[in-house]
């Protein structure tokens, strides 16, 4: 019975982690801020975020009872004996790979005009995101976003620990994308294949570009990669040189 608290818990702790980190960065490294304008959370962002923590808890409880009922393919952490380390590591990467494609496709679907107006618009009301924006969306979107965890648990015979690691990583990366600071402005070379906070911030800014979560290949493959990205990244790097 861990999923009922793990799904909302990892999301909440990830938000708190970046809230604290942002306070430090504001004092020590203000030049890493992507948009210099203030991006304080709104009441709406708090409200939808806590509503979605409730959605995550319900889905987590559903996973817990499904596990007790024996409906999950995922190998329970209690039932598992000696863990094969390589199988565990490969399983985490399989989860991340499937989620990367799942996120891109569902995100493109959410931008179909009808779904955008009825569901996804709530998330897009924040044009200059902050850590509380990460889970501020319509509860239907909450089900879609967290839905990847039960999908993996129901269909893949992978270790439960791999799904736990994946869930924590996914939560942290989701908030990083909305934190408003580019933590990788200096260590950029050789990492073009990975998305950044700037990448997702431009999605909130321009709406029709940058739909991916971890890898930039999907946006590049389907022609949705922001044409303004490289220029903005260079400006951020220049601004931070020597600081
Ligand atoms: Zn969007
Ligand atoms: Zn977003």
> Which residue ranges make up each domain of the chain?
3-183
Going by pLDDT thresholds of 50, 70 and 90, the confidence category of residue 82 is: low
Ligand 1 centroid distance, CA of 110 (Å): 7
Ligand 2 centroid distance, CA of 29 (Å): 23
Mean pLDDT in the chain? Answer: 94
pLDDT over 70 percentage in the chain: 95
Ligand 2 centroid distance, CA of 178 (Å): 6
Structure confidence by residue, pLDDT tens digits, 128-176: 999 999 999 999 999 999 999 999 999 999 999 999 999 999 999 999 9
- Poorest-confidence range of 22-26, 154-158, 180-184, 186-190? 186-190
Nearest ligand to the CA of 103 is 1
Going by pLDDT thresholds of 50, 70 and 90, the confidence category of residue 187 is: low
More confident call, 192 vs 25: 25
Q: What is the pLDDT of residue 131?
A: 97
Contact yes or no for 122/137 (Cβ under 8 A): yes
Structure confidence by residue, pLDDT tens digits, 84-115: 889 999 999 999 999 999 999 999 999 999 99
Ligand 1 centroid distance, CA of 86 (Å): 35
Nearest ligand to the CA of 126 is 2
| Mean pLDDT across 48-60 | 98
Report how far residue 64's alpha carbon sits from residue 87's, in angstroms, rounded to the nearest whole number: 23
Q: What is the pLDDT of residue 240?
A: 83
Any idea which residue has 């490969």 for tokens? 90
Ligand 2 centroid distance, CA of 130 (Å): 10
| Mean pLDDT across 43-49 | 98
Ligand 2 centroid distance, CA of 92 (Å): 23
**Residue 242: pLDDT over 90:** no
Question: Helices in 69-212 by DSSP H: which ranges?
Answer: 85-110, 113-115, 121-124, 139-146, 148-155, 160-176, 197-206
Report how far residue 41's alpha carbon sits from residue 81's, in angstroms, rounded to the nearest whole number: 45
Q: What is the pLDDT of residue 186?
A: 67
Report how far residue 240's alpha carbon sits from residue 243's, in angstroms, rounded to the nearest whole number: 5
Q: What is the pLDDT of residue 80?
A: 61
Q: What is the pLDDT of residue 77?
A: 81
Residue of 128, 93, 118, 111 whose CA lies nearest to 215? 93
| DSSP letter for each residue of 22-56 | HHHHHHH-GGGBSS-S--PPPHHHHHHHHHHHHHH
| Mean pLDDT across 203-230 | 96
Question: Helices in 111-196 by DSSP H: which ranges?
Answer: 113-115, 121-124, 139-146, 148-155, 160-176
Ligand 2 centroid distance, CA of 210 (Å): 10
Q: What is the pLDDT of residue 211?
A: 98
Q: What is the pLDDT of residue 190?
A: 60
Ligand 1 centroid distance, CA of 116 (Å): 8
Residue 70 Rama label (left phi>0; alpha psi -120 to 50; beta): left
> CB burial class (10 A; 0-12, 13-18, 19+) of residue 242?
exposed
Ligand 2 centroid distance, CA of 135 (Å): 8
Residue of 136, 143, 180 whose CA lies nearest to 44? 136
Nearest ligand to the CA of 179 is 2
Report how far residue 46's alpha carbon sits from residue 42's, in angstroms, rounded to the nearest whole number: 7
Going by pLDDT thresholds of 50, 70 and 90, the confidence category of residue 118 is: very high
Ligand 2 centroid distance, CA of 127 (Å): 9
Ligand 2 centroid distance, CA of 80 (Å): 36
Report how far residue 71's alpha carbon sits from residue 96's, in angstroms, rounded to the nearest whole number: 22
Helix (H) or strand (E) holding 221: helix 217-221
In Å, how far from its chain's centre is CA 200? 10
């Amino acid at each position: 019975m861990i999923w009922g608290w793990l799904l909302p818990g990892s999301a909440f702790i990830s938000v708190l982690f970046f809230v604290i980190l942002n306070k430090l960065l504001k004092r020590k490294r203000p030049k890493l801020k992507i948009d210099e304008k203030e991006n304080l959370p709104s009441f709406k962002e708090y409200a939808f975020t806590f509503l979605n923590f409730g959605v995550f808890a319900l889905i987590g409880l559903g996973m817990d009872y499904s596990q007790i009922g024996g409906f999950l393919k995922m190998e329970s952490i209690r039932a598992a004996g000696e863990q094969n380390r390589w199988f565990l590591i490969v399983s985490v990467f399989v989860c991340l790979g499937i989620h990367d494609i799942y996120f891109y496709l569902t995100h493109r679907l959410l931008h179909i005009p009808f779904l955008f107006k009825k569901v996804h618009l709530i998330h897009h009301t924040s044009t200059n995101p902050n850590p509380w924006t990460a889970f501020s969306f319509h509860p239907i979107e909450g089900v879609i976003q967290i839905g990847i965890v039960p999908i993996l648990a129901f269909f893949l015979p992978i270790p439960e620990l791999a799904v736990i690691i994946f869930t924590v990583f996914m939560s942290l990366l989701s908030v990083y994308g909305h934190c408003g600071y580019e933590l990788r402005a200096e260590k950029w070379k050789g990492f073009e294949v990975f998305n950044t906070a700037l990448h997702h911030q431009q999605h909130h800014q321009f709406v029709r570009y940058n739909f991916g979560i971890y890898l930039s290949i999907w946006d590049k493959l389907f022609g949705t990669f922001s044409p303004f990205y490289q220029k903005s990244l260079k400006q951020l790097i220049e601004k931070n040189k020597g600081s």
